[in-house]
Chains A and B, each alone.
Chain A
Amino acid sequence: MQQKPKIEILVGQISQFSDQKAFKQFFDLYANRLFEFAFSFLKSKQLAEEAVADVFFKVWLNRETLPSIENIKAYLFKATYNTTLNYLDEEKRRKAIGLDDIKVDLGVDLICPETELMTKELKGRIDQAIESLPPRCKLIYKLAKVEQMKYKEIASLLDISVKTIDHQLSIAIKKIGEEIREYLSRDGNNSNFLVLMQLFIPLK
């Protein structure tokens, strides 16, 4: 979020003055994230690198139109997604679109810290919970958390409904949350535990 004004400056430099240094900074902001995203589908480091290079090449060629793009991040991810799908043969493409056969590397170390609140044990439980999520759920989780994308952005990126995003993401949070809850309650903090669980089980 705090990068926002900086990106606008970079985009201005790039579009008006074809500033290559600014473009490199712009590149550095996104290249890794796009690579990881592309890698989820391509599962080949080399192909993912090529795909991201294609995206940036296209952006550079069309740099004059950059300021007119409302949401640069969403645009870059969408461009990467499309480029990535084009790299796949038809069968793999179908699977990737269905998001049911992708390998999403969440880089767990980057996703959960070890702090005063998070003991090593709790962190381990959370890591495991995240790792065991189905691929589609994992990808959505990563886009929402790490890329801080809004539901709508993820929905249009992956061509699925906002409802699906909402549902998939809460599957992830539920799984992680239950781990946390169980861990905390085991420490004798659970006097009201049963009552509360009943309260929050869906009524219908």
Chain B
Amino acid sequence: MKGDSVWNIITRHLAEESTAEEKQALDEWTKKDNLNQGTLDRLREMWEYNPVRQSGYPKIYEAFKTRLNHYEKRQTKNPFLYYAVRVAAVLFLLIGTAALVNTMVPFYNNREITWQEITVPKGSRTSILLPDSSKVWISNNSKIRYPDKFASGTRELELTGEAYFEVVHNKKKPFIVHAGSDRIKVLGTKFAVSAYPDDSVFKAELLTGKIQVDIHTGKGDDSYKSFIVKPSYSLVYNKTSGDITSAVIPDGFLDYWKNGIYTFSNESLESLAQKIDRIYNVQVVFENDYIKTKRFSGNISIDDNIFTFMEAVKRTSLVPLEYRYENNTIFINLKSD
């Protein structure tokens, strides 16, 4: 037995971890004495006795189902709704074109221009190439209308929702994004616009180059306040209060615009809440201030949804969290047990 206690060898034997040598030693040991044999027999019987356990925790499956339902509700695009949106978009296109072409007549030399309309449903994103080779990444729940060619002296298009633009430089043809009654004029640059009609804020974020944001003041059709945005700054116009503010764009948002992924490291949940708002268009309310300070690292992807993200936060959080979803708002609280 070479200094090893026999118990150790028996243990390895039961756990099927023993070597051939040990097996032999154990064999010799049991043959020596009935007491040894009896002890081993009983130990083996005990070890091998493992009755099949019945499933007795229906609550676990319920809890799993709840998560799944929650998730699927967000994930599945209602096919009817999706179809309805498309039909509505086409109708809008038919009715809208006449009016629009009328108002835009000065920009176009002929009436042969047809308008393209791209609608991106919730939970997805796409990118398109404009006729001048500028590239647009269209976010979640957004729509873009653009002509099949930029015939006149400007490049103009309409945006509802959010998009990121990489505009090909062309001094002679300014590029203009119409977002509701506001607009952004550029020559050639990289910038993002968030202009969801339901949102209280209109936002333009500039990466490089120069943009001019014209905020419609509401006094007359042609009265605008113009702002120049500096690179890596954003301009936020609060439609309710009328406030206009400027702030630095957080790092990591280039990836978000292009790939729909926002990468963060050691970021407080409070700060992440703003990103969640930005990416999923969902407000976050903290019901406990302590949680705000908890820090996380990881990715937020537009292709996931807020529940996947919240589940990940919940799972990795050192403090047990719980959250609930009501009216497009996530409420986070400490877990009450």
A residues within 8 Å of B by Cβ?
A: 24, 27-28, 31-33, 35, 44, 46-47, 49-50, 52-54, 56-58, 60-61, 83, 86-90, 93, 110-113, 115, 117-118, 122, 126, 144-146, 148, 150-151, 166, 169-170, 172-174, 176-177, 180-181, 184-185, 189-190, 192-193, 196, 200-204
B3-11, B210-218, B259-267: which lies at the interface? B3-11
Which single member of A50, A144, A177 contacts B39 (CB below 8 Å)? A177
Within 8 A of A (CB), among B36-66: 36, 38-39, 41-43, 45-47, 49-51, 53-57, 59-61, 63-64, 66
Known: A57-B67, A145-B50, A181-B39. A202 touches B55 (CB 8 A): no
- Number of inter-chain CB pairs below 8 Å: 160
Pairwise interchain contact B337-A44, C-beta atoms closer than 8 A? yes
**Contact yes or no, A169 B15, CB < 8 A:** yes
Contact A24 B61 (CB under 8 A): yes
Q: A87-B320, A112-B49, A166-B11 are in contact. Are A150 and B67 (CB under 8 A)?
A: no
Give the residue name and chain of the B residue nearest to A83 (CB). B315
B residues in contact with A27, CB < 8 Å = 60-61, 64
Known: A53-B67, A54-B311, A87-B320. A32 touches B49 (CB 8 A): no
B29 within 8 A of A: yes
Partner of A50, one of B35, B55, B63: B63
Select B3's contact among A117, A151, A190, A203, beta carbons within 8 Å.
A203
- When C-beta atoms are compared, the residue in chain A nearest to B320 turns out to be A87
Q: A53, B49: Cβ atoms under 8 Å?
A: no
Contact with A along B287-322 (1 / 0, CB 8 A): 000000000000000000000100100111111100
Q: Does residue B34 face the partner (Cβ distance < 8 Å to A)?
A: yes
**Which residues from B are CB-within-8-Å of A47?**
320, 335, 337
B68 beta carbon closer than 8 Å to chain A: yes
Residue of B nearest to A79 (CB): B315
Q: Name A151's contact: one of B17, B45, B68 (CB within 8 Å).
A: B17
Q: Mark B1-34, 1 if CB is under 8 A from A, else 0.
A: 1111111101110111100000000000100111
A44 to B35 CA separation, bound complex (whole angstroms): 43
Q: Which residues from 223 to 247 on chain B have a C-beta closer than 8 Å to any C-beta of chain A?
A: none
Shortest C-beta distance, B68 to chain A (Å), equals: 7
Known: A113-B46, A122-B42, A151-B17. A52 touches B60 (CB 8 A): yes
Given contacts A146-B50, A170-B11, contact A53 B35 (CB under 8 A): no
- Nearest Cβ on chain A to B60's Cβ, whole angstroms: 5
- Distance of A126 Cα from B43 Cα, bound (Å): 10
A204 (CB) vs chain B CBs: closest residue: B3
- State how many angstroms separate the Cβ of A50 from the closest Cβ of chain B: 6
Contact B8 A110 (CB under 8 A): no
> What are 10 pairs between A and B in contact, CB < 8 Å?
A53-B60, A58-B315, A61-B71, A89-B318, A89-B319, A110-B53, A118-B42, A144-B15, A146-B50, A181-B39
Q: Which of chain B's residues has its CB closest to A144's CB? A: B15
Do the beta carbons of A28 and B55 come within 8 Å of each other? yes
Known: A57-B64, A170-B8. 16 other contacts (CB 8 A): A27-B60, A31-B55, A32-B54, A49-B63, A53-B61, A54-B314, A56-B60, A83-B315, A87-B320, A144-B15, A150-B15, A170-B7, A170-B11, A180-B38, A180-B39, A200-B6
Contacts of B7 in A (CB 8 A): 170, 173-174, 177
CB contacts (< 8 Å) of B39 on chain A: these are 177, 180-181, 184
Interface contact B42-A200, CB-CB below 8 Å: no
Q: Are B50 and A110 in contact (CB under 8 A)?
A: yes
Report yes or no: B46 in contact with A112, Cβ–Cβ below 8 A. Answer: yes
CA of A185 to CA of B14, assembled, Å: 22
Whether B47 lies near A192 (C-beta < 8 A) is no
Query: Which residues on the A side are within 8 Å of B320 (C-beta)?
Result: 47, 87-89
CB-defined contacts of A180 to chain B, threshold 8 Å: 38-39, 42-43
Partner of B56, one of A32, A54, A144, A173: A32
